[in-house]
Structure 1
């Protein structure tokens, strides 16, 4: 792919962004203690502004996919990629955030082990490592680097991922938080700029009404209600999202964890409106794009002058890279601390940190290989979320309540059986053509629910 036509000033802005990222990432705070708690959860002293900024930035890695959907289906983007996730984030804030902050653990697998025993903890660590793989975002970053610099995809994937995680290798969550505060600011700045230029040059609502297909301004976008409904189940992955739990573990107080998520929902609503509007302008101004996933970059190249164009591409990089660093770190923790460290006895904090860093190297290699092999962002999202969400949802959510938590045997059975059957169901069909016309995620959730109900009945009947 040929490189985008950027000016020297645009490339200079990109360079400044990378330099700022590395400076912030490698900066050492005077409050740093060097403990494992400091490395994994920032010493549990994350303030409300930092909590909001890092959570908002982390959750938006799939920006090119959002551009593709809004370009093709219009305002229904908000009902598919917005509302379902706000609802589940609110459920998390009300029912889980405070419990997570009170839990005397550093990771999700630790919580599962505390509630259900070592085997469940190990199984949970394995599932979290898969769920947190940054492969889809690594692929997205490679595609963007391919467009910006004309590099082959493999080079964009490798170099982009390296710059996304090198600072968290050394600095842990504090480094991630510092860089994501910058990335949070840039993501809003970039989309505010492109909307200002679009409105000033082409006009507002009247222009969109005249230029867009009629379905683009309907709630469904031409999709069936059933298609939209399934996203409300897929969005349940929010309730097992390791980035939510890690930020809650790291929050200074329960109030910071709870209100941080609620405030973040407000920022997500605002940003979704911005990205959806940008997608509408892309469709109205550039109606014949061969690759809708490139709608945001193509609109920027068409519409923005030098400097503004550079800022917008920095915003796209910031959105994707902020997710790669967080997810890479989470996967590394699961591999290093929650799996590798379990094979030793009395593993020291420094050893656990070193094992986490080894886990990050493994995560880097695996994510790059998956991204280059799969070459489909949506396919990676769908397959991972479909298998892992049913495996973790009920065992994890119930683990915080002594009254509702499952028995250790039932929790382990639920995790393994729901993931296994869902994986088989997924492997024997293809999108829209599964056995009995039932989506795999429904099968996994049903199995987990049945095990949960039977376990509750047995407890009430015999204990």
Structure 2
């Protein structure tokens, strides 16, 4: 780090206690029968998720890019809420009222199961490949490895490997049940650690109003100096919520459709509160440390400036928990995508036990790929933009129409719509990159790639409607 953080023995002790608690939770939840375990048990915790567990798990999983949030708050101020808060609340509420009940009401384990049941097997396979890219834990693995490198001085590769093992080791045996139990613990650490550092900032350096008045005028504006067309693009990227496998998994695992709907609505309130704490903390970093050379260090540098021994360690535990909750959940989802939705779906003989076996293998494969990819990743914010822009257009219409039989089209049209919806944005971003940058100024005709993908997907779907009318059903899902 450019601005190294120094830890006292008490800080390291708290960090060690955190990891010890994770091991205890992992061992406790891993005491399950390995052979004969059903897919619903391993992947959805028997569809028995209570409201508190649903909220804690969803909130913790959906907030893994904590250092990226701090960086964006430091650089763009209030626009962090405009870009990463409000649009996601909006689409989460839409999901709660229009999709949560439908997801819980059908006996589908995964999104590709839904795609196969509604459309076709090729659509399910293509969707599996896109979903794997969408939920890759690589950016969060990189963030976790970097934090461990900064804390303990380990070589980055060793930090990546150890961080991944500590995160996902017990998911191999405990599955989604382990994921949820660790998420509950990490949820509590997230909120209490940021409440603590915000309290220290207010006591030592004045209230939020006084801090806000010291910000550069641009950072006090809703746009934060960002061009409004770029902000609008982030609203389209926020449609990620509608196709996110984490939302689907938790709604499928909820004890009832009502639990799924209410759980999402309560989660929105929790995200709003956590956004207030994280963004305000980032703004304090901007005021108190206005000349950071590497803005991704906003939270670590602020912790070094204002927190005493013990408090600093607890804050870092909270940041670790925020990142690791997403590493755990996304690794499990990526493993399910590889093991069940790709390998098992095309295996000659399929049983409930075999897809659990291949999912366990998928945890290892997904973790290894994430570690390898972590070496070459750009900023987390840039990855959110790139991945969302590339894969949301290809997944959105096929998934939404899967729950609305009256607006489906023939499977070949759906397949082409998916393919073009992803291929065109990727080509457009490559052209922009070669022209000097992945932004509106360098894209052909200044058209954002996500618009191109959504437009192409919609046009193919419209052509399918005109050519073939309504399609009621397709191939049955692999269950």
What is the match of residue 337 of structure 1? 340
Match of 2:176 among 169, 173, 178: 173
For the residues of structure 1 that align with 2:313 and 2:149, how far apart are their CA atoms?
16
3-state SS of 1:355 partner? helix
- TM-superposed deviation, 1:31: 9.0
- TM-superposed deviation, 1:222: 1.4
Higher mean Cα deviation, 376-385 or 39-48?
Answer: 376-385
8 Å contact kept, 2:407–2:470: no
- TM-superposed deviation, 1:54: 0.1
What is the match of residue 9 of structure 1? 10
Match of 1:55 among 46, 53, 58: 58
- TM-superposed deviation, 1:26: 2.4
What is the match of residue 476 of structure 2? none
8 Å contact kept, 1:7–1:306: yes
Q: Which runs of 4+ in 1 moved over 3 A?
A: 28-33, 459-463
Measured on the aligned residues, the alpha-carbon RMSD in Å equals 1.8
Match of 1:445 among 443, 454, 466: 454
- TM-superposed deviation, 1:449: 1.0
| Post-superposition CA distance 1:178-225 (Å, at most 9, x none) | 000000000000000001111011111343144321122111111221
What is the match of residue 44 of structure 2? 41
Higher mean Cα deviation, 423-432 or 451-460?
Answer: 451-460
8 Å contact kept, 1:4–1:149: no
8 Å contact kept, 1:333–1:359: yes
Match of 1:435 among 444, 452, 461: 444
What is the match of residue 119 of structure 2? 116
What is the match of residue 475 of structure 2? none
| 2:225 is the counterpart of 1:222 | yes
| 2:293 is the counterpart of 1:285 | no
Gaps of 5+ in 2: 473-479
Trace 1:88-103 onto structure 2 (pairs within 5 A): 88-103=91-106
Match of 1:158 among 161, 169, 174: 161
- TM-superposed deviation, 1:148: 1.3
Q: How many residues end up aligned between the 2 structures?
A: 463
8 Å contact kept, 1:139–1:377: no
What is the match of residue 354 of structure 1? 357
8 Å contact kept, 1:193–1:312: yes
Trace 1:34-433 onto structure 2 (pairs within 5 A): 34-430=37-433, 431-432=438-439, 433=442
For the residues of structure 2 that align with 1:79 and 1:336, how far apart are their CA atoms?
37
| Post-superposition CA distance 1:96-154 (Å, at most 9, x none) | 11111111110001110111121111111111111110011111112211221122322
- TM-superposed deviation, 1:407: 2.1
3-state SS of 2:64 partner? coil
8 Å contact kept, 1:101–1:257: yes
Higher mean Cα deviation, 1-10 or 314-323?
Answer: 1-10
For the residues of structure 1 that align with 2:384 and 2:180, how far apart are their CA atoms?
24
| Post-superposition CA distance 1:274-331 (Å, at most 9, x none) | 1111011111111111111110111011111111111100000000000011111111
Higher mean Cα deviation, 48-57 or 350-359?
Answer: 350-359
Higher mean Cα deviation, 440-449 or 1-10?
Answer: 1-10
For the residues of structure 2 that align with 1:29 and 1:302, how far apart are their CA atoms?
40
Gaps of 5+ in 1: none
8 Å contact kept, 2:11–2:313: yes
Q: Residues 185 and 413 of structure 1: is their aligned pair in 2 closer, same or farther, counting only changes over 3 Å?
A: same
| Post-superposition CA distance 1:247-294 (Å, at most 9, x none) | 011010000111100110000001001111101111111111111111
For the residues of structure 1 that align with 2:200 and 2:375, how far apart are their CA atoms?
35
Q: Residues 215 and 426 of structure 1: is their aligned pair in 2 closer, same or farther, counting only changes over 3 Å?
A: same
8 Å contact kept, 1:395–1:406: no
What is the match of residue 24 of structure 2? 23
Q: Residues 375 and 38 of structure 1: is their aligned pair in 2 closer, same or farther, counting only changes over 3 Å?
A: same
For the residues of structure 1 that align with 2:76 and 2:420, how far apart are their CA atoms?
36
Higher mean Cα deviation, 376-385 or 402-411?
Answer: 376-385
